């Protein structure tokens, strides 16, 4: 597949802060299944199931995207954040290049 989806997590309109729990507790990770290859942190990652975790508790800190099944990972610095309740986390992609 030639389409590359850049900086997914940058647009990860979810992992914004990985959601905030009802009692102010932060969710530590999000599991997402991506049906196509994408680019994150300058690295092309294959389709598969990924775990997205924060590098630190800082909402504006980096995110680690990793897949045990594909043995691949990337670290990204999100450039867009939105706040959602922990039960309404969303992931979105922006197509940067064909």
Tens-place pLDDT, residues 5-58: 444 433 443 343 444 333 344 567 888 898 988 888 888 899 999 998 888 877
Instruction: Classify burial at 25, counting beta carbons within 10 Å of its beta carbon; exposed 0-12, middle 13-18, buried 19 or more.
Output: exposed
What pLDDT sits at residue 50? 92
Model pTM score: 0.61
What pLDDT sits at residue 94? 72
More confident residue, 34 or 80: 34
What pLDDT sits at residue 83? 66
Strand order in the sheet with 72-76: 29-34, 48-54, 63-67, 72-76
What pLDDT sits at residue 11? 40
Instruction: Please state the domain extents for the chain.
Output: 4-90
- d(CA 49, CA 70) in angstroms, rounded, equals 8
């Amino acid at each position: 597949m030639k389409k590359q989806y850049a900086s997914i997590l940058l647009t990860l309109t979810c992992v914004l802060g990985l959601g905030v729990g009802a009692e102010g507790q932060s969710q530590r990770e999000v599991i997402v299944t991506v049906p196509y290859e994408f680019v994150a942190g300058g690295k092309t990652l294959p389709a598969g199931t990924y775990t997205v975790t924060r590098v630190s508790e800082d909402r504006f800190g980096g995110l680690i995207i990793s897949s045990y099944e594909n043995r691949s990972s990337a670290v990204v610095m999100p450039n867009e954040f939105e706040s959602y309740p922990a039960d309404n986390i969303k992931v979105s992609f922006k197509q940067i290049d064909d």
